[in-house]
Amino acid sequence: MKKKILIVANWKMNPPTSSEAEKLFAGVKKLDAVICPPFCYLDAKIWSSGAKFTLGAQNCHWEEKGAYTGEISPKMLKSMGVKYVIIGHSERRAHFKETDEMINKKLKAALKFGLIPILCIGEKKDKDAEIVVDKQLKEDLNGIIEKDVKKIVIAYEPVWAIGTGNFCDSQKAKKALRWIQEKTSNKVLYGGSVNSKISTDYTKVGFDGLLVGGASLNAEEFIKIVKNAQH
């Protein structure tokens, strides 16, 4: 049986206007993919009725509610029809100083409210891959029971490849995939400067899908990525 390839679009803080978001949603609405727009565009039903894609979020807090200005809770996301949530992205770790302890709490909260977490892990320097991957998996998954761990999707993103255009060679990425597979049986995605020309390279070496950043903001390019990877 052919395994299902999971493709996730991370729009990050894009596009800048609702009219541009509407156009982008319309361009990808027939894709079998997960779309993670900014929070303000999460109510995609307004302009995307009949869409085939699944809705995801880029982050969440670990509390259900409370005095946390500027945050959004997993319960709020669930109530809006969100199914997936990205947690621990390298940009959250770097720019907002999210620690593995914070990421661990977010994972537990997301699971509590029935969301599927996409846990991002990855090294800043190529030579540190195995050490960093091992440390992040141990600390991020600490205290989560086995049946819940299995629900988590892991996204391997070498930080040095994100947004740089210097994508990680698929054979090099395959080594990190093997290290992850030695520790978990989870679905594992690859992310980091993915485009339509190289998208199938990663699924061919064993990745279960892709986490796509900048290329997902171009509907035509993202459609190519999804179709190439899934076929």
Determine, yes or no, domain membership for 165.
Answer: yes
Determine, yes or no, domain membership for 1.
Answer: no
Contact by Cβ (8 Å): 209, 33: no
CATH number at residue 86: 3.20.20.70
Question: For the residues 116-131, what does the mean pLDDT come to?
Answer: 91
Contact by Cβ (8 Å): 9, 36: yes
Determine, yes or no, domain membership for 166.
Answer: yes
Write down the pLDDT at residue 20.
95
Write out the catalytic residue numbers: 89, 157
Write down the pLDDT at residue 129.
87
Question: Measured between alpha carbons, how far is residue 182 from residues 4, 56, 209 in Å?
Answer: 21, 28, 18
Question: For the residues 128-154, what does the mean pLDDT come to?
Answer: 95
Asked whether the predicted pLDDT for residue 127 surpasses 80, the reply is no
Q: Which amino acid is at 162?
A: I
Angle at 124 between CA 123 and CA 126, to 5 degrees: 70
Determine, yes or no, domain membership for 95.
Answer: yes
Provide the percentage of residues in the chain whose pLDDT is more than 90: 85
Determine, yes or no, domain membership for 45.
Answer: yes
Write down the mean pLDDT value for the chain: 93
Asked whether the predicted pLDDT for residue 120 surpasses 90, the reply is yes
Determine, yes or no, domain membership for 134.
Answer: yes
Tally helices (H) and strands (E) across the chain: 9, 8
- Count of domains observed in the chain: 1
Render pLDDT for 22-67 as a digit per residue (tens, 0 to 9): 999 999 999 999 999 999 999 856 555 678 999 999 999 999 999 9
DSSP 146: H
Reading phi first (left if > 0) and then psi (alpha if -120 to 50, else beta), residue 109 is in: alpha
Determine, yes or no, domain membership for 83.
Answer: yes
How far apart are the C-alpha atoms of 117 and 131, rounded to whole Å?
23
What is the span of the domain harbouring residue 221? 6-230
Determine, yes or no, domain membership for 31.
Answer: yes
